[in-house]
Amino acid sequence: MVLRLKGNEGKPVAYQVRILTEYCKGCELCVAVCPKGALEMSDELTDLGVRPACPKADAECTGCTLCYQVCPDAAIEIWETAEA
Amino acid sequence: MTQAAMKLGRPKALLDNRTHYCPGCGHGVVHRILAEIIDEWDIRDSCIGMAPVGCAVLAYQYLDIDMCEAAHGRTPEVAAGVKRARPDKLVFSYQGDGDLAAIGTNEIVHVANRGEPISVIFINNAVYGMTGGQMAPTTVPGQKTTTSPKGRSITGEGYPLRVCELLATLEQPAYIERCVIGTPNKIRRTKNAIKKSFRVQRDLKAFSLVEVLSPCPTYWRVPPTKAAEYIETYMEEIFPPGIIKDTTK
Ligand SMILES: Cc1ncc(C[n+]2csc(CCOP(=O)(O)OP(=O)(O)O)c2C)c(N)n1
Ligand code: SF4
Ligand code: SF4
Ligand code: SF4
């Protein structure tokens, strides 16, 4: 099934994973679970002093939501994107 | 132009506060599951939770619902009282294994035995987390904790207490299941079980309990990414996941 953005009928969507770094505690569960290797740990420290997860530049996110399911800090959002 | 729409994000019933839980702690996953169900059922104004004494003592700072706090282990009795006073509300008791299976053993047994129509979410992480990782009645044989530095011995400390199996011998509980915070699949099953427990309360007005084998990476002394394996290797044999009792069918 191809999901579609409202008002964008007919055009297939892509997915984007976003990390809410203010909640992330750097547990790495999302990185370990992602079947696409679309996440990695950042080198930048947050105010908590942890290295947060971040999307890998050239990797493809399929929107499978596995990273969201395992995240203990609800620090992950999955977005749908489409060319209008 | 690229359009973007959020498909999945923080549930509305989760407050904006960052939790005080350690990285990889199972409490956070169970809080999110609860918040998702509260959103899906639209019960933010008609659901009352009981926070335990234990690491989840501040659960009311994370869940956007009415919550009460009770003395250590007494949450099921307070929940039963709240439910009797407000039978129209969905009432759940959220408790750790030190809270429920040690100091509160008396309360959970009698509340279950009377078939009080509440839902109990029982977080079994095999240690007392809040106070520094001491041995709990649910600590597995050989497990090293701050008060069993050589590993839990059966001769000295007895076998782990299986709360689900114990309560399943009682007449009144309608539904008892043991779940796991581990792989995404197991996490989904945990969510389904908690939903079912809420349905049992709403539709059958009966007692139910969902035990959740839940990571405490800090006091198991493993990285969060090894916690799921830890549960599978050391806990699931002692505490087999699955439905322990179900009279709803
Ligand atoms: C009457 C009383 N006795 C002892 C304590 C100390 N105490 C606080 S939390 C706790 C154990 C909590 O362990 P558990 O219920 O397993 O929850 P966790 O922290 O692991 O989530 C104890 C013994 C207390 N607060 N009150
Ligand atoms: S949604 Fe799936 S593919 Fe995308 S980052 Fe998360 S786990 Fe990876
Ligand atoms: S699972 Fe959540 S808290 Fe852990 S590293 Fe990923 S985003 Fe951060
Ligand atoms: S001590 Fe254990 S149970 Fe408590 S917050 Fe840390 S990981 Fe969670």
Per-residue DSSP letters for B125-172?
-SEETTTTSEE-TTPPTT--BTTBTT---HHHH-SPP-HHHHHHTSSS
The two three-digit tokens of residue A73, written as one number: 């800090």
Q: Ligand 2 in contact with A69 (CB < 6 A)?
A: no
Q: What percent of chain A has pLDDT over 70?
A: 85
In whole angstroms, give the CA distance from residue B11 to residue B163.
31
In the sheet that holds A14-19, the strands lie side by side as A14-19, A76-83, B2-8
Across the interface, whether the CB atoms of A72 and B2 are under 8 A apart is answered no
B32 contacts chain A (CB < 8 A): yes
Distances (CA, A) of A17 to B48, B49, B77: 33, 32, 43
Each domain of chain A, given as residue ranges in start order, spans 5-82
Fold of A5-82: Alpha-Beta Plaits (3.30.70)
| Alpha carbon of B20: minimum distance to chain A alpha carbons (Å) | 10
Q: Ligand 1 in contact with B135 (CB < 6 A)?
A: no
Across the interface, whether the CB atoms of B2 and A82 are under 8 A apart is answered yes
Give the model's pLDDT for residue A1: 38
Could you give the angle at which helices B105-113 and B75-85 cross, rounded to 10 degrees? Answer: 40
Give the model's pLDDT for residue B216: 98
| Atom from ligand 3 closest to the CA of residue B24 | 4
Per-residue pLDDT tens over the stretch A46-64: 999 999 999 999 899 999 9
Domains within chain B, CATH numbers bracketed: 21-246 (3.40.50.970)
Over chain B, what is the mean pLDDT? 97
Confidence check: pLDDT of A7 > 70: no
The answer to whether B52 touches B124, Cβ cutoff 8 Å, is: no
Substitution target in B7, B39, B179 with the highest count of A β-carbons within 10 Å is B7
Across the interface, whether the CB atoms of B3 and A83 are under 8 A apart is answered yes
Report, as an integer, the average pLDDT of B18-41.
Answer: 98
Per-residue pLDDT tens over the stretch B67-111: 999 999 999 999 999 999 999 999 999 999 999 999 999 999 999
| Alpha carbon of B190: minimum distance to chain A alpha carbons (Å) | 11
For the whole model, what pTM was predicted?
A: 0.96
Per-residue pLDDT tens over the stretch B169-220: 999 999 999 999 999 999 999 999 999 999 999 999 999 999 999 999 999 9
Across the interface, whether the CB atoms of A72 and B6 are under 8 A apart is answered no
Query: Does the interface ipTM go beyond 0.90?
Result: yes
In whole angstroms, give the CA distance from residue B111 to residue B114.
5
